[in-house]
Amino acid sequence: MKNRFSFLSLSLGLCLLAISCNKQLDQKPISDILYQDFWKTAADAKYGMASVYSGVQKTFSNTFTEWGDARSDNFGASGTGENQVNISYNGLTAVTASADWSNLYSAIARANVAIKYIPTITDPSFTTTLRNHYLGQSYAVRAFMYFWAIRLWGDVPLRLEPYESVDAPPNLPRTNKDSIMNNVIIPDLKKAMTLIDKKSLNVFEITVPSILSILTEVYLWKHDYANVIATTDQLIALRRFSLVTTPSEYKDVFITAITTENIWSLNWNYITDGANGIGAKLGSNSNTSNFQIDIPLDIWEADAKNNPTPDIRRYLNYDTAGVTGSTGVVTAPSVIWKFYPIDINTGKPAAPSRNQNQAKLPFYRWPDILLMRAEALNWANDDKNGAFAIINQVRRRAGAVPLDSTKAKYKNQIQVEEAILDERQLELFAEGKRWFDLVRTDRVLTTMDPIIRDRQFKVKASITGFTDPRKILWPISRVVLNVDPSLTQNPPYSK
């Protein structure tokens, strides 16, 4: 009896012991911040904003070349890697890595979080100017990312609020691309214009000129030439931008990104941000490039053969030594060193190793804006002289022979447009523009079909060319479709 009693009392004692340490069960994360504990101070806004840009960086690290250049005549596959072969031979599939939009939507989600929570910060030191400046940047970044998304995939899911609870349905249908353009991208950019701090000159962040530049490209994409002229007028009126003149300044456009010509570039520091993936695509000293220069090489080499003072962009883009062999056969250089500084020992630019790449990807710079304006002048006002004035302004700066606008081959607007695009191809080579130039001006099939047929013929592959306009859009990645089976694939791609 006594035993049973002491057993019970011991048990009771032990129970009390257990209850007494229940408080310990509330363990907060040690190395992370709880969702509800952030966006409280002015500093929080700064750190949150940095993550939005970091999201942009992560999005373009491995995709910049593939989305903007690699499917165009700027590049062909180098080597035999499956990914680059598929991209260069018009053989995109649902498993092509760059078809995955996850990073892009991650950047959008971060912007959504910023847009929701920046207004809730009650810190008195957080001034209205600063608050609006951060908000404006967030709206502009989100619009910019959606602009890429609709150009690549057409209709895409649209999310403008952060997803916060597991109870909410996570899947979204695809929204019409024109609706996203007209109801989200353009209004958000206009709203960003009103919010942004007009005094900001930071070339690595969204500023007034960056928003105007995005708007210019957006309007051009819509063939809304009057608005292109209007936004470029606004940019000219800022009296801040002009073309740099010397080769070393031209180099600085991509190295320091602080010149009179830079509007918006992505900052990059490989130590903190990780290496820019463009090194693997365009070559580095540690690997052969995935893609090698195609048509622009022929143009520049022909120019070098015929002109005593060739286009300086030739040697600023690649190593000209050994490109044309003794037999006259042109072989592609292994590295595009446009974004890298000149090595003081060799006097030539040198690509860093792949994992030290910190190319500051240029989103917008002055010649881009000027040439977009030229395109609008050509179509809106049939202003051939205005267009050629811009083309030749850009060409002269590069030391290239100016074009004679009176030539028979520049007779109609289409031909003038061709001249503008050719100049854009050389000036903005490897800057993520060429593919969209071809798409915008409806030149993909005519330009790419013969090139792809030629490539396929050379390797004895089945010749399919580029005949299906539906293939202009990218496929939706298998990674995305696996998670959300309700999404439909872009035809004719298969799942």
Partner 1 sequence: MMRLLLRFSFIALFCFLSQQVVVAQMKISGIVKDTGGIPLPGINITVKGQSTIGAQSDAKGRFTVNIPNGKARLVFSSVGYISKEEVVGSAATLKSTLEVRLTPGTTSLEEVVIIGYGTQKKRDVSGAITTVGSKQIAERQAVDVFDALQGQSPGIQISQESGRPGAESSVRIRGTATFEGGADPLYIVDGVQGVNIDGINPADIESIEILRDAASAAIYGSRSANGVIIITTKRGKDGKVKIGLQALSSFGKLAHKLPQATAAERRLLDYKRTLVSNSTLSSSVDSLNPSANADNDYQDMLTRIGARQQVDLSLSGGAKTFNYFGSIGLLKDNGIILNSWSNVARGRFNTEYKPNDKLTISTKILASYRLENRISDGEVLPDALARSAYLRVYLPDGSFLSRSSGAQPNPLAQVLLEKNNFDIYNVGIANSAIFSLSKDLRLTVDANVTAENNSNFDFMPNILSSANPAINTLNVNNGFKTYWQFQAYCNYNKNFGRNHSFNSTFGVSADQTYTKNRSQVGNNFVSEDVITMNAATVQFPSVETQTRIFSNSAFARLGYSYMSRYIVNATVRADQSSVFGASKRLGAFPSISLAWRYSDENFMDWAKKYLDDGKLRLSFGMTGNDKIGAVDQFTRYGLGSNFYNGVSGVATAKTLGNPNLGWEATQQINIGSDANFLKGRLTVTIDYYDKTTKDLLYTAPLPSTTGFNSVKVNVGSIQNRGFEYVLSGYPIRKKNLSWNIAWNMSYNYNRVKELYQGTDLLPGNPNIWKVSQGGHIGDFYGYKALGVYAYNESNAYSQDWVQLTPVFDNNVFTGYTLDGKPYSGTVQKLYVNNVPLKGGDMIWQNMVKDSLLDDKDRVILGNAMPKWTAGLTNLVTYKQFTLSFSMYISWGGSIYNDLRQGLNASITNNNTPEPDFIKGSWVRQGDVTIYPSPAINTGIENGRDGNSMYIEDASYIRLRNLRFTYLFPKKILSKLNLGGASFFVFGNNLLTWTRYKGYDPEISFPSVLTPGIDVGRYPRKREFGAGLNLTF
Q: Which of residues 188-227 bind partner 1 (CB under 8 A)?
A: 204-205
Site for partner 1 in 429-458 (CB under 8 A): 458
β-sheet bridge partners, residue 330: 324
Q: How far is the CB of 155 from partner 1 (least distance, A)?
A: 13
Q: Is 492 a residue that touches partner 1 (CB under 8 A)? A: yes
Tell which phi-psi region holds residue 258, choosing left (phi > 0), alpha (psi between -120 and 50) or beta.
Answer: beta
Q: How far is the CB of 4 from partner 1 (least distance, A)?
A: 8
Q: Kindly give the residue spans of alpha helices, DSSP state H, lying in 89-207.
A: 102-117, 128-153, 177-180, 186-195
Residues 6+ apart with CB under 8 A from 162: 109, 112, 113, 116
Segment contacting partner 1 by CB under 8 A, of 102-110, 334-342, 398-406, 411-419: 102-110
Closer to partner 1 at the Cβ: 123 or 422?
123
Q: How far is the CB of 272 from partner 1 (least distance, A)?
A: 4
Tell which phi-psi region holds residue 328, choosing left (phi > 0), alpha (psi between -120 and 50) or beta.
Answer: left
Q: Which of 1, 31, 325, 345 binds partner 1 (CB under 8 A)?
A: 31
Q: Which of 60, 75, 101, 388 binds partner 1 (CB under 8 A)?
A: 101
- The span from the CA of 105 to the CA of 52, in Å, is 11
CA distances (Å), origin 77, targets 86, 190, 293, 427: 9, 40, 9, 21
Q: How far is the CB of 273 from partner 1 (least distance, A)?
A: 5
Based on its alpha-carbon atoms, the radius of gyration of the chain, rounded to whole angstroms, reads: 27
Q: Is 308 a residue that touches partner 1 (CB under 8 A)? A: no
Going residue by residue from 275 to 294, which x/- string records binding to partner 1, judged by CB under 8 A? ---------xxxxx------
Q: Which of 127, 129, 164, 201 binds partner 1 (CB under 8 A)?
A: 164
Q: How far is the CB of 482 from partner 1 (least distance, A)?
A: 5
Closer to partner 1 at the Cβ: 164 or 442?
164
Site for partner 1 in 467-486 (CB under 8 A): 468, 478, 480, 482-485
Burial of 386 (0-12, 13-18, 19+ CB in 10 A): middle
Cβ-based neighbour number of residue 320 at 10 Å? 16
β-sheet bridge partners, residue 175: 156
Q: Kindly give the residue spans of alpha helices, DSSP state H, lying in 154-246.
A: 177-180, 186-195, 208-221, 225-237
- The span from the CA of 118 to the CA of 52, in Å, is 13
Going residue by residue from 357 to 396, which x/- string records binding to partner 1, judged by CB under 8 A? ----------------------------------------
Q: Is 273 a residue that touches partner 1 (CB under 8 A)? A: yes
Q: How far is the CB of 422 from partner 1 (least distance, A)?
A: 29
Q: How far is the CB of 48 from partner 1 (least distance, A)?
A: 6
Largest interatomic CA distance in the chain: 117
Strand 156-157 with 262-265, pairing: unpaired
Q: Is 29 a residue that touches partner 1 (CB under 8 A)? A: yes
Q: Is 94 a residue that touches partner 1 (CB under 8 A)? A: yes
Q: Is 302 a residue that touches partner 1 (CB under 8 A)? A: no
Closer to partner 1 at the Cβ: 169 or 308?
169
Segment contacting partner 1 by CB under 8 A, of 26-34, 244-252, 300-308, 310-318: 26-34
- The span from the CA of 106 to the CA of 162, in Å, is 11
CA distances (Å), origin 78, targets 282, 284, 479: 10, 13, 26
Q: Which of 120, 272, 306, 345 binds partner 1 (CB under 8 A)?
A: 272
447 phi/psi in degrees, rounded to 5:
-80, -45
Cβ-based neighbour number of residue 58 at 10 Å? 18
Segment contacting partner 1 by CB under 8 A, of 94-102, 118-126, 401-409, 440-448: 94-102
**Quick check: bond before 492 cis, omega within 30?**
yes
Closer to partner 1 at the Cβ: 402 or 469?
469
Q: Is 256 a residue that touches partner 1 (CB under 8 A)? A: no
Closer to partner 1 at the Cβ: 166 or 329?
166
Q: How far is the CB of 262 from partner 1 (least distance, A)?
A: 14
